[in-house]
Structure 1
Amino acid sequence: MFGFFRLVLILLVGLTVVYGAARLYSREMRRAQLKRRWKQKGLTGDRAAFIQRGLKQYDRSPRRKLLLLIYIIPLGALMLLVYVINFM
């Protein structure tokens, strides 16, 4: 039983690192996309405010919430595996 908890703890730490990296990467890609859109449309005004508004919209978007699947899928697979091995 102790080995299982140790496995889960290591898995959670690893998934947290992967989640953090994916979140930073996704946010930077969104920022780059907003900068390209600003340049392509030739907009005038405060570019930093435009990017901040776009990132706030991104933070509320379902796309960002999909990153939580980084936790859900592996932990769900582990729970399913434990169930199948022990009870079937």
Structure 2
Amino acid sequence: MFGFIRLILILLVVLTVVYAAVSLYSREMRRLKLKRRWKEKGLTGDRAAFIQRGLKQYDRSFRRKLILLVYIIPLGALALLIYVINFM
């Protein structure tokens, strides 16, 4: 039982690092897209405010919430594996 708890804790730490990396990468890609859109459309005004509004929209988006699958899929697969091994 202690080995299983240790496995879960290590898995959660690794998944947290992966989640943080994917989240930061995705946010940076969104920032680059916003900068590119600003340049392509030749917009005038406050560029920083445009980027901040875009990032606020991104923070509320469905795409941002999909990154949580980094936790759900491996933990669900582990739970399914344990169920299949023990009860089938």
- The TM-score, its normalising length taken from structure 1, stands at 0.99
Q: Give the whole-Å Cα distance in 1 for the aligned partners of 2:83 and 2:11.
A: 18
The one-letter amino acid of 2:23's match is R
Number of equivalences: 88
Q: Which runs of 4+ in 1 moved over 2 A?
A: none
Identity of aligned residues (%): 84
Once the two structures are superposed, what CA deviation does each residue of 1:40-72 show, in whole Å capped at 9, x if it has no partner?
000000000000000000000000000000000
Please give the root-mean-square deviation of Cα atoms over the aligned residues, in Å: 0.3
State how 1:39-58 maps to structure 2 within 5 Å. Answer: 39-58=39-58
What is the aligned partner in structure 2 of residue 77 from structure 1?
77
What is the aligned partner in structure 2 of residue 34 from structure 1?
34
The one-letter amino acid of 1:43's match is L
What is the aligned partner in structure 2 of residue 22 from structure 1?
22
- The TM-score, its normalising length taken from structure 2, stands at 0.99
